[in-house]
Amino acid sequence: MKNLITLCMILFITNIFSQDFEQKQLYILDEEPIIKNDEEGRINYYIILKSIDSIFINDAYIFNIPNRIGFDDFSTLKDIKKEINLDTVVYVKKNKLKSMEPWVLHNYLSTNKIIYLITKNNTKQSKEPIFYEYKIIYNGTLKDLEFIQF
């Protein structure tokens, strides 16, 4: 009887921990992504949406594309891209994210543990578009983010 109770407790605890560590995956399809390098070589992806708050112009959802390969060395976007077949994943188009309230979108991005950006590469050499995936990490939201063009 004691062994049965111990076994039940182990199964119960294992079930609780397995639910906590369940990996949620989100694939975002963005055919015109805003991707910028910072001064140190890190790569960031931005979703910039018009703000519903009248005192702000936009809300910028910021993601890091992990590209560090050494202490001071970084991979290029070309080096870390992986070709993907859209038929093999369930994805959300960026336009769908625009329809969400800002706080709902922030929570949605924060609770997905594994997020991928899918981009489209239309080349003249191929008749069919090629799609690439990049693992991204959600860093948060900024208001009124603007890029300076030189």
pLDDT along the chain (150 residues), means of 10: 55 44 79 90 93 91 92 89 93 91 92 91 75 95 80
Structure tokens given for 1: 């009887």
| Calculated CA dihedral for residues 62, 109, 103, 143, nearest 10 degrees | 0
pLDDT value, residue 38: 86
Domain ranges of the chain: 23-143
pLDDT value, residue 21: 43
pTM of the complete model: 0.78
pLDDT value, residue 121: 85
pLDDT value, residue 1: 61
pLDDT value, residue 118: 94
pLDDT value, residue 7: 46
Contact between 136 and 42 (Cβ < 8 Å): no
pLDDT value, residue 127: 76
pLDDT value, residue 145: 85
Cβ atoms within 10 Å of 21's Cβ, excluding its own: 7
